[in-house]
Structure 1
Amino acid sequence: MHTIGEVAELLGISAHTLRYYEKEQIIIPLRDAGGDRRYNESHVKWLQFVIKLKETQMPIAVIKKYASLFQEGEHTAPERLKLLENHKRAVEDQMNNLHAANEMLELKIVAYRSFIGK
């Protein structure tokens, strides 16, 4: 079991972020006898997934919806799948846009190098 500070350090996020995720019911940590939050390995893996979703620009409302569906049970698997498929398409669009921007930048860099004789 991990404390909130340990999980925050392990994942490179703040304890404030973990409290926010709890407030939004994205994660529901366990509590010890003193009421302190405790996280097991399953919590850590879930948070790693949440962090990746955030890094790929999934809105917090959609992450919250996914978490809610997961907590409802296995009968929500088709809806969760649809959320992830939609997000995957959005990530692929982001990647295509970044690739196009990178190609444009490369052309500009080549032009400037040619202009200044490098």
Structure 2
Amino acid sequence: MKKLLTFVLIVMLACLFLDKISGSDMHMQFNGDDVDGPLEWLFGLVFAGGGLLVAAIAVVCAAVVTGVVLAGVGVVLIAVVALCVVLALALSTPVLLPLLIPVAIVWLIVSRNRKQAQARQQSL
């Protein structure tokens, strides 16, 4: 049953394809002249496929250019944010000096206690 169903679907798709590519309802003009004859539909399919290929290439190129531009903008934005952080730290240093004095005292006490603890461990 599965093989029969597969065969019927393939035949149905082939019939639909042949119906769509038949030249009965296709009208094509090339440089202002009507193109007719037995291969009219073939020329139409080739030119339409070429147009789709050009469109696909254009979309891929546009995506690549957009990615490169947005990556460049991202790098510039990161640089601007880093510059703003450095500028903010440089401007806030005089304000933070009274806060840095107690931090430095605590840091010295902790480092002295750490050195004494290491000296005790080495003596054991």
TM-score tier (shorter): 0.3 to 0.5
Q: TM-score, normalised by structure 1?
A: 0.39
Higher relative contact order (CA 8 A, sep 6+): 1
Q: TM-score, normalised by structure 2?
A: 0.37
Higher-Rg structure is 2
